[in-house]
Amino acid sequence: MKVGRLTIVDALGSRDGHRMVACACECGARIEIRRSSVVSGHTMSCGCLKRDALIERQTIDNLSRDPRYFVLQNAVGRCFDTENPGYANYGGRGITVCDRWRFGEDGRTGAECFCDDMGERPSSGHSLDRKDNDGPYSPANCRWATRTEQQRNTRSNAIFFYSGADRCLAEISDLCGINYKTLVTRIRRGWSPSRAFSHPANR
């Protein structure tokens, strides 16, 4: 008799008034257990079923905590969420995320495909860069890129509160999708930060 991963291989008689059986589990383990527990379907493995489910859940948790996952989420938001502050400069001008990264492929989720294709992010200073600025987020058009020191030096040191935290303009530029230089120009011209970070850029 087989229930779940367990196969009853031996009757062991009674223990404390319960009929006991020996079961072989698919994982190779052998356990002794109350017969009623197996027959009722209450127990379906030696414990490996729960363990495997836990590992699977942890894997999913770990992936959703992977910073790369949020990088992808942000890109999808900029391209497809019309409420996203960066939408005008991404989705609004035809930038998309490829189907493989958005919906997944071959039984793997979009996030898994994205992580496979892009590899490890070299550092938190690396952002997802599109080689062709008018092209999509896709394996062929994306790379991890860091801002050069020179770029950093020309950037304003001003800090603004944006999207829940104090951030420099370079960071805000990444989040809102408005070109960094455009942001600097706007702030210098006396725009309010909220307008500078939300008003769609001209093209």
- Residues of this chain that interact with Zn ion (CB under 5 A) are 25, 27, 29, 45-46, 48
Closest CB to Zn ion among residues 39, 168: 39
Rounded to a whole number of angstroms, the minimum distance from the CB of residue 135 to Zn ion is 49
In the numeric block, the tokens 């062929």 are attached to 140
- Residue matched to tokens 């989720």: 109
Q: In angstroms, what is the minimal distance from the CB of 3 to Zn ion?
A: 12
Residue 187 contacts residue 156 (beta carbons within 8 Å): yes
- Phi, psi angle pair for 139, to nearest 5°: -55, -40
CB of 46 to Zn ion, least distance (A): 3
Integer Cα distance of 71 and 69 in angstroms: 5
For residue 156, what are its two tokens? 């304003």
Nearer to Zn ion, 43 or 89 (CB): 43
| C-alpha span between 128 and 29 (Å, rounded) | 46
Q: Which is nearer to Zn ion, 39 or 48 (CB)?
A: 48
- For the CB of residue 53, give the shortest distance to Zn ion in the complex, in Å: 12
> Of 47 and 94, which has the nearer Cβ to Zn ion?
47
